[in-house]
Chains A and B, each alone.
Chain A
Amino acid sequence: MAYTKDEVLAGLADLVNDETGIATENVQLEKSFTDDLDIDSISMMTIVVNAEEKFDVKIPDDEVKNLKTVQDAVDYITNAQAA
């Protein structure tokens, strides 16, 4: 069964919090992973790997650089699970 966008956002916020300690309420759609949340490339890859497992999707390495904001990631994951 597919996750809604709200569920993906909430799940992603949990993964970001688990990896970085950033409060889940600060993981908002318009936030940039690097500029606003100060997430480095290793943490980003960890979050991606954990997100793949959590949402049962594949996020190719080439795609990760396009996931600049939380919105980008939520959209990608939502679409990927629909595919």
Chain B
Amino acid sequence: MTKKIVITGIGASTPIGGTARESWEALLAGESGARSLEHDWVQELQLPVTFAAEAKVRPDSVLDRPVAKRLDPSSQLALVAAKEAFADAGSPEIDPERLGVDFSTGIGGLWTLLDAWDTLRERGPRRVLPMTVPMLMPNAPSAAISMHFEARAYARTVAAACASSTEALVNAYEHLQAGLADVVLAGGSESAIHPLTLAAFSSMQALSRRNDDPATASRPYDVSRDGFVMGEGAAVLVVETEEHALARGAKIYAELAGGGVTADSYHITAPEPEGLGASRAVHMALEAAGATPDEVTHINAHATSTPVGDVAEVRALERVFGERVREIPVSATKAAHGHLLGGTGALEAIFTALAVQERQAPPTINVTEQDPDAPLRISNAPMPLGDEPQLAVSNSFGFGGHNAVIAIRSV
């Protein structure tokens, strides 16, 4: 029997806010988190891209120092977001063996790895600290959360590039359905704004080069979009069975109604142009939700602001929704917060849950001339969603041909 799964807590540390609520308010207000980078290495290395959307609040400024010292920034962000989400959920008292963690990262502890490599080359092996490996491993954020909250049901990590944290939410949904836990801390994290990734993503022509105007660089669906803007941050949702949530009198944001994961098996970086795999993931999520495409009232698009990716997603949406896709309010929130890679899906899930709860689709900023090849209903201001029940989908796609979609329903 299918259980009803609900979202009872949210937490985030993002380029536009130190908390989930602050990020949401900034998103609704049309703020951008992209800024020129002021690190010495930007000029020293003559990077072709000199801006990004770094986390607004450094996580080591809000964690106790001995805790922060043992965590890569990606794990620090994860722990900050998880603490907020758990508190927001009312810090549920739960048997540790019924509390799980489904987490994700796109890249892992990159800063720790590369700092240690610098240390090794410049100062020798004796100076490489013993915490190096436990800090850089991709399961480190999941482990940090598990240890902090005594989550002993399991602590699993998924890596699916930019689809990672949506896939983590699908996993949480499935694990709750399977009875592996009653409550799950689910989400993703990324802290990879490093000269190496800026150089590498630039090398593949994936990043916007609007160095003179960072705040408008991420412009999904605009005719002049020229690539994504790297973002940093983490987002965590507390998801649990409705039975468990009701028994403890928890407030409920929305229902995590279903999820779908597919693979393109087409190209390592390019999306399959017909949107076959992506549309199949949408169908799977809706099927799990017991819904049809006709019921969908809001879409949080993956829409990273790349020339090819944005329209490939539109083709997939047309495949699912037909002509009606032009009527459904769509939000491409990476315009504001940039692309948090392994953290982005969970952040957008939070925004989608708040959208269906508050009946307003967040704005898509920076679009001055909408691409006629992406005829979606977007707005630079919040769009009302109406009083009727809401059903939204949030899409995430990643290098490797990963497609992950979740369905979120109002309660």
Contacts and interface: CB of A to CB of B under 8 A. Distances in A.
Contacts of B126: 49, 52
Interface string B42-72: 0000000000000000000000111001000
Contact of A21 (B66, B130, B131, B134): B66
Contacts of A46: 129-131
A19 B68 CA distance: 10
A1 interface: no
Interface string A29-56: 0000000000001100110010011000
B127 interface: yes
B130 A42 contact: yes
A42 B127 contact: no
A24 interface: no
B175 to A, nearest CB: 31
Nearest to A41: B130
Interface string A1-44: 00000000000000000111100000000000000000001100
A20 B199 CA distance: 36
A21 B129 contact: no
Contacts of B134: 42
Nearest to B127: A49
A19 B66 contact: yes
A3 to B, nearest CB: 20
Contacts, number: 23
Interface in B282-327: none
B69 A19 contact: yes
Contacts of B129: 45-46, 49
Contact of B131 (A20, A42, A53): A42
Nearest to B131: A42
A36 to B, nearest CB: 17
B127 A21 contact: no
Nearest to A61: B126
Contacts of B65: 18, 21
A70 to B, nearest CB: 18
B66 A20 contact: yes
B359 to A, nearest CB: 46
A33 to B, nearest CB: 15
Contacts of A21: 64-66
A19 B67 CA distance: 9
Contacts of A42: 130-131, 134
A41 B134 CA distance: 14
Given A19-B69, A20-B66, A53 B130 contact: no
Interface string B353-370: 000000000000000000
Interface string B69-91: 10000000000000000000000
Interface-central residue, B64, B126, B127, by most chain A CB under 10 Å: B126
Contacts of B64: 21
Interface string B105-141: 0000000000000000000001101110010000000
A42 B64 CA distance: 18
A53 B127 contact: yes
A56 to B, nearest CB: 12
Contacts of B131: 42, 46
Contacts of A45: 129-130
Interface in A46-75: 46, 49, 52-53
Nearest to B128: A49
A46 B65 CA distance: 15
Contacts of A19: 66, 69
B63 to A, nearest CB: 11
Contacts of A18: 65, 69
Contacts of A20: 66
Contacts of A53: 127
A45 B65 CA distance: 18
A42 B129 CA distance: 9
Nearest to A53: B127
6 contacts: A18-B65, A20-B66, A21-B65, A42-B130, A46-B130, A49-B130
Interface of A: 18-21, 41-42, 45-46, 49, 52-53
Minimum-distance CB pairs A-B, first 5 = A21-B66, A45-B130, A42-B130, A20-B66, A46-B129
Given A21-B65, A49-B130, 15 more contacts: A18-B65, A19-B66, A19-B69, A20-B66, A21-B64, A21-B66, A41-B130, A42-B130, A42-B134, A45-B129, A45-B130, A46-B129, A49-B126, A49-B129, A52-B126
